[in-house]
Structure 1
Amino acid sequence: MPLPTIIVPGYLESAIAYQQLAALLEQSGFPTITVPLRRRDWLPLIGGRSVAPIIQQLEHTVKQALQKHNATQINLIGHSAGGWISRIYLGEKPYPATGKLPSLWNAHPLVATLVTLGTPHTSQERWTRWNLNFVNNNYPGAFYKNVRYICVAGKTIYGERQRGSWLAYSSYQLTCGIGNTWGDGITPIASAHLVGAENLIIEGVRHSPRSPGIWYGSPEALESWVQYLI
């Protein structure tokens, strides 16, 4: 019996954007729930603040899925920032929460597979660097050996200082420090992969479910990574 699967939305994204992906996973036999975030749930986090409120919603969703399906583990799919937020959720070290006691989830025993889709696992941008430094200093690479890490990157747009690829150039530079490189239009390949993970590259996929054309959750791209779910 396939494990229940949880989708963690990307930064400033709502659960509704992942309806098609959830439906495709259901069709593939995986009972799927998206963490029920709304776009406004992200607003208090702007400026690099603690992501603990998002992880609390993730934890609640995981507990619901485990109880509903009488399961002991889940698959976790994190899109964009949802990927590194999921890595915090797995961890056993207290995560500093602004104005509150540190939070601790230690959820890695509950997660069989973590799939990250276009996740920027590194950042030069000062608002996100604090959170990502916490993740990478405490849980570098595919840290937990009991969790299978699948990191999916897109090779779609080459960043250049010219019309049509300027946004990609700027985003790549903020993320990995190099603008002239390949990525999905937002996240460069170099930042989307982790040492020790099963690292995949899909050509032609764009970063967001709201992007025109194919993204990581489209049927054509899903075929490349759904096989890794348990």
Structure 2
Amino acid sequence: MRTRHWDIWARSHKVDLLASPAASCCRRRAGVHRQSILCAQRGVVILPGLGNNTKDYEVVAADLRNRGLKVGIAQVARIDWLRNAAGLVDINYWRGTLQPRPTVDWYLNKVHAAVQGMREQLEGGGSVTLLAHSAGGWLARVYLLGYGTENIDRLVTLGSPHQPPPKEGVTFTVDQTRGILTYVASNCPGRFHDELEYVTVAGKFVEGAGLRQKGASIAQKLVGVGYLQVCGEASVWGDGVVPLPAAHLEGARQITLEGVYHSPLGSIAAVEGGKEGPDKSSPGRPWYGSPDVVDRWIDAVVADASELQDAKMELGQLVGSVVPDENAFVELTDTPRRSNLPRLHTLGREHSLMRPCSAASRLKRQRAELLESLAEPSPDSSRVDELIEDMISEAQPFQEELLGGGPWQVVYTSGPLLWQRITGGKRSTKASQEFIPEGRQVINRGSLLGSLAEVTAQGTYQLADQEDPYRLPARIEASVAGGNLSAFGLNIPLPIKGSGLVDLLYLDQDIRIFRSPDQGSIAVQQRSAAAP
């Protein structure tokens, strides 16, 4: 087991970690499964979705409070949504060019009142997360555009339709927002506010189907009609209301959750709150606010620099007095099933002692530097290896869906023989790999003789059982069943068979890092669309 830097430093300087104020704060909360141990204050303001009211979110609000967060809910009644009918008198409603204001000002005012109330609760200037469900997601973007981001450092959306439906090439599609989503996408696209962290959470509960699609159930076809109105496609996956293609924002941290339904009405959370689902014989369906589902996205709410700042300030005085030649800060981790001991990081003298540096922002810089290094004609392998080790040192969320969307080009390896396997032992000048989560297929490709020939190996993969299936590292077992050689217009079958293991250490939208368990070799793959 790797020795922690803090342990070495504390023993060498005879420091009693448990005597520090920050450690005392964390010690008081130790052992609570669903409670944040972070010492700084964080407020969460929940924004209800279309047709929902404040009471629908009381169960999830109580869950978040049990985790050590201050929580408020925008005070919305179901009847309030009828106020949107004011847009009917605007000619732009009928043209499909309606703007959000003044039609939704009533909702923005309620959000602002909730945010102001949370600011008053946060003594000492804590940060606020907007936690928006369904239509509350794009309404939150409108709020941030009009009211600003003071004290707000994060927007987390749950099953929110962020993209307007296509205007051309699709029949029987009507923009249900009558142009508002188009306005939002044009005026605050993607991760619009650089100072904010954006997280989009989407459920993968049911696959829709076209009305004429054979073999599909009536329920799938009905869901498909709804998906069609939102994204222009019926045969896609979604949470039963919002399809996946519309639920994510470019530049945001994107989390897709298997088996998660859209609404609290008729869900497990509703049943636990004393309500019956539509099927009284069923315990309901897990939705975004069900406790077990919250476990899968809670890190997106709490893991950032602002919550660590108080702990850094308290420990900084101690560290700065004992290590006069180097500046330092301490980071407290709050990852499920992991130790909550702090780790000491040292910085050069040009850095200030209390420079705010969250795990997320540090990882973002390391990732950017890695991509920049790999784009160079002759990358500095020692620096590349150092960046990779830093990036994989902290456990990251795992979403199998991100494995797809390839092929992915191999842009760096620390072991020259690692990728010869996919070409049957032949030396390849260019290799790529494609995982297809649907059916768990794997396709390996390698170019020979420049680009004159290509070897393809096809097979399947499985994920090994692990303690936490939603966190990296993840072990993948691939089995190759056959392949072929393509050259000069000919396709020659090859008897390529075999299996092997690889550990996935890092994964995001455009980059992934693997390690060979037997050789220890590292390989970096980049999505082909983004590869240099």
TM-score (norm 2): 0.40
Partner of 1:197: 252
Gaps of 5+ in 1: 92-103
Contact 2:176 2:229 in 1 (8 A): no
Higher strand share: 2
Partner of 1:82: 136
The one-letter code matched in structure 1 to 2:231 is C
Gaps of 5+ in 2: 1-39, 94-99, 166-173, 212-216, 267-283, 303-532
- Deviations 1:174-227 (Å, cap 9, x if unpaired)? 011001000000000110000000000001110001133100010111111111
2:178 and 2:244 mapped to 1: Cα distance? 18
1:123 and 1:134 mapped to 2: Cα distance? 9
RMSD of aligned residue pairs (Cα, Å) = 1.5
Contact 1:153 1:192 in 2 (8 A): yes
More off after superposition, 220-229 vs 183-192: 220-229
Contact 2:43 2:126 in 1 (8 A): no
Contact 2:41 2:126 in 1 (8 A): no
Matches within 5 A, 1:112-123: 112-123=153-164
- Deviations 1:20-73 (Å, cap 9, x if unpaired)? 110110011111011111001111114667111101110011001101222353
The one-letter code matched in structure 2 to 1:147 is L
Matches within 5 A, 1:24-39: 24-39=63-78
Q: The residue matched to 1:56 in structure 2 has which SS?
A: helix
The one-letter code matched in structure 2 to 1:82 is G
Q: The residue matched to 1:24 in structure 2 has which SS?
A: helix
Q: The residue matched to 1:164 in structure 2 has which SS?
A: helix
Task: Give % identity.
Answer: 33
Contact 2:175 2:230 in 1 (8 A): no
Contact 1:109 1:146 in 2 (8 A): no
1:42 aligns to 2:81 (yes or no): yes
More off after superposition, 129-138 vs 177-186: 129-138
1:132 and 1:52 mapped to 2: Cα distance? 15
Rg comparison, structure with higher value: 2
The one-letter code matched in structure 1 to 2:254 is N
The one-letter code matched in structure 2 to 1:154 is G
1:197 and 1:38 mapped to 2: Cα distance? 30
- Deviations 1:118-169 (Å, cap 9, x if unpaired)? 0011233333042111111011111111111110011110001331212320
Partner of 2:287: 215
Partner of 1:58: 111
Structure 1's consecutive aligned runs of 4 or more residues displaced over 6 angstroms after TM superposition are none
1:109 aligns to 2:120 (yes or no): no
1:137 and 1:151 mapped to 2: Cα distance? 18
Contact 1:167 1:185 in 2 (8 A): no
Answer 1 or 2: higher relative contact order, Cα 8 Å, separation at least 6. Answer: 1
Matches within 5 A, 1:66-215: 66-70=119-123, 71-91=125-145, 104-106=146-148, 108-124=149-165, 125-160=174-209, 161=211, 162-211=217-266, 212-215=284-287
1:141 and 1:123 mapped to 2: Cα distance? 12
